[in-house]
Amino acid sequence: MEMQIQDLIASIKKDGLDQAKKEADEYLAKAKADADEIVSKAKVERDKLLESAKKEIDLERQSSQASLEQAARDASLTIKKNVLDLLESILKESVKAEVSGKVLEELIFQVVASDAVSDGSVVEVSKDDLKTLSSDLVAKLAQKLKKGIVLKSSASVSGGFVVMEKDGSGFIDLSDEEMAKLLWPYLSENLRKLF
């Protein structure tokens, strides 16, 4: 009987070990399947995150590129405007420098002596130009001055001169600013070709 008990114990042990091994294999297979599923889900999530990051990087790159292009356009327009403003200022200063002294006197004489200026008109020049106008001009314009034409300074005229009708019905603007404006389209036409 002892043999039977030992055989029974051995059989129980063997069955227990087989059962334990079977359960262990099942747990191991389940754990492996769970691990494979977790890894698979992690790979899918990783791929989604990578795709999302790539899209975000592409959008950021496109946005940065558009911002750079806009900044370049803005800078170009600002530089162009600054250059044109500087050239316009230089043109005005050049006109002011050229239309002074004898040139200014000759222009005033030609305009006032013409039929375009009626008696009683006012000729406005800058304060500095009024001081430098020669007595020769006053002598040349004596007849017109007797008929009521007035030669005076004006704070609104920085160079050149302006002739205004007494009643305000008309004027001739040959100020440095107006002459620069008249010349500017011819100069700016050639400048536009440079830009």
Residue 145: CB atoms within 10 A of its CB come to: 15
State the pLDDT at residue 194: 64
178: Cβ contacts below 8 Å, ≥ 6 apart: 160
CB 180 within 8 A of CB 91: yes
SS3 at position 156: coil
Backbone phi and psi for residue 70, each to the nearest 5 degrees, phi listed first: -65, -40
> Model-level pTM?
0.57
Q: What are the tokens at 30?
A: 């389940």
State the pLDDT at residue 73: 93
Residues of the chain with pLDDT under 70: 1-2, 188-195
CA–CA gap between residue 127 and residue 168 (Å, rounded): 22
pLDDT for 34-88, tens place per residue? 888 999 998 999 999 999 999 999 999 999 999 999 999 999 889 888 888 888 8
Strand partners, 125: 153, 161
Residue 156: CB atoms within 10 A of its CB come to: 9
> Helical H runs in 99-132?
101-113, 127-132
Residue 166: CB atoms within 10 A of its CB come to: 13
Q: What are the tokens at 131?
A: 């001081």
CA–CA gap between residue 123 and residue 38 (Å, rounded): 96
Amino acid at 82: N
CA–CA gap between residue 24 and residue 30 (Å, rounded): 10
State the pLDDT at residue 63: 92
CA–CA gap between residue 190 and residue 194 (Å, rounded): 7
State the pLDDT at residue 193: 67
